[in-house]
A = this chain, B = another copy of it.
Amino acid sequence: MHSEKIHWFKLVFRLRGSVIPAIFHRVLICGLFGFFISLLYHLKFPVSQPVFGNLVPSVVIGLLLVFRTNTAYERFWEGRKAWGTLVNNVRNLARQIWVAVIEVNPEDRESKIMTLRLLVAFAIATKLHLRAKPINQELANLISPAQFHKLKTMNNPPLEIAFWIGDYLQSQYTHGCIDAYQLVALQNLLNSMVDVLGACERILKTPIPLAYAIHLKQLLLIYCSLLPFNLVGNLGWWTGAFVALVSFIVFGVEEIGIEIENPFGYDRNDLPLNTICDTMLRNIEDLISLSPSVHAHAGNAKFTQSSN
């Protein structure tokens, strides 16, 4: 219980990961404007207007902020779900390839392992593609030099990796190492991986409609501009401090929305894509360390297409 208490108070004053650095300038400007109004008030200008407090209904501000928050969080969570689906599909596809594809020659196992690594390469290429980074060494360890060279010339590297995986599956089918039903099932899992790529691109490239973003910013600016006129009569010299406080609250909520709307970046509030890719690779390596029992029977495999 005690440790949890400390944790709570440690978190509340934490700067890293909070939005304070991002909104510092705006809050400062609001605070200075508040101070300026209290100066005018001190000089007997008629700036005290308590009625301003009711002009912008705080319920409208509140609801639009929450709409912004919900929307941004849903994108964050949808992005996370997409990556979760990617992890699941890589695991399922890898397990089924490992278990089902028959190894006739010793080099078949080698090409199998290379294909499993391609699955992880797909995830890493997706990560780099979403971050608009060129393909790099991280990827080079998982694919052949020829593939690496080819990828450099492509618009959308993950799509080419999906092509290679699909091509491997089709050629295993043509050689009679999997049958047609399994081919379709494995292709469906691959389709689902390409769907994840599309979902992430969609989240990345379609922000909240511009008109909302602008209108909300305008509302917040109007709200914070009217605030000192409302407060100065009661708070005097403290006006600046409290205007800064309120602007900190409302700009903070907006800023979080902006930050998590695109969850594929590098900062502390984004998705841990590097960790997810590492987990996938570890799972694949674990899988390769197990040996499937069916391969003992590979020599006399009886399949529909070779049964006659």
Contact = CB atoms under 8 A, between A and B. Distances in A.
Nearest to A206: B80
Q: Which interface class (under 10, 10 to 19, 20 to 34, 35 or more) fits A?
A: 35 or more
B51 A234 contact: yes
A215 B18 contact: yes
Given A88-B194, A156-B283, A209-B260, 18 more contacts: A14-B214, A18-B214, A18-B218, A19-B215, A51-B231, A58-B59, A59-B62, A66-B66, A67-B73, A87-B198, A95-B162, A174-B294, A174-B297, A181-B183, A185-B188, A209-B259, A212-B256, A303-B305
Interface of A: 1-2, 4-5, 8, 11-12, 14, 17-19, 21-22, 24-26, 49, 51, 53-67, 69-71, 73, 76, 80-81, 84-85, 87-88, 91-92, 95-96, 98-100, 154-156, 159-160, 162-163, 166-167, 170-171, 174-176, 179-185, 187-191, 194-195, 197-199, 201-202, 205-206, 208-215, 217-219, 221-222, 231, 234-235, 242, 245-246, 249-250, 252-253, 256, 259-260, 268-269, 271-272, 282-283, 286-287, 290, 292-294, 297, 301-308
